[in-house]
Amino acid sequence: MSDATPAQSPIWMGILVAVAILSSFALACGMPFAAIGALAALTLGPRDALVLAGIAWSTNQIIGFGFLGYPYDLLTFAWGAALGISALAAVVGAVLALRPFGSGSLALLPIAFIAAWASQQGAVFLASLVLGASEIAFAPAVLWFIFWTNALAFTALVLVQVIGARIGMARPIAITSQRSVNA
């Protein structure tokens, strides 16, 4: 982003984390990590986007273990770590998918979202090969549910981000040629 683009307000970052918290209570392990990762990739530098995804994941785990009764066993902890990796994968996937486009329009939103979702689900699938998962976890109906809940969450987050940009608390959604995983 150019120097003329305002920094993401710490208050705004808190609002996005609050959305993650509310999502955790509403969706439990169905946290919309792909939606958060795509929005983070569109509005933050890659490092900050990864930090936001990590905060969203951490918050989700605190709520899960602290309030939703996740069991304290090795497999649950391992799946928690796998979900953390998948949240980071969502950001990396979106950043990499946007990189070839340089500057662009909001028409690239679907590219960021689909790349984030595919990367996040790919990481979950790879984890399932090691940790085990029932076949139903990757049934078309389940994948469709995860896709559309993330799509709805992404739409809501984009609308919230646009409002935040209009009131001066958030960066506008923009794709710039400065995006790279190393930035």
The one-digit pLDDT tens for each residue of the chain (183 residues) are: 334 445 566 777 777 777 767 766 666 557 899 999 999 998 888 998 999 899 889 988 988 899 888 999 999 999 999 999 999 999 999 999 998 876 666 778 999 999 999 999 999 999 999 998 877 778 898 899 899 989 988 998 888 888 888 888 887 886 543 444 444
Q: Give the 3-state secondary structure of residue 180.
A: coil
- Kindly report the number of other CB atoms within 10 A of residue 136's CB atom: 8
Q: Which two tokens stand for residue 2?
A: 């150019």
Radius of gyration of the chain (CA): 16
Q: What phi, psi does 6 have (nearest 5°)?
A: -65, 150
Predicted local distance difference test score (pLDDT) of residue 127: 93
Q: Give the 3-state secondary structure of residue 177.
A: coil
Chain segment 139-149, per-residue pLDDT in tens:
898 899 899 98
Look at residues 17, 23, 125 and name the one whose alpha carbon lies nearest to residue 64. 23
- Spatial separation of the C-alpha atoms in residues 142 and 156, rounded to whole Å: 21
Q: DSSP code of 68?
A: S
List b or e across 161-179, with b for residues whose CB sees 16 or more CB atoms inside 10 angstroms: beebbeeebbbebbbeeeb
Task: Write down the pTM of the prediction.
Answer: 0.85
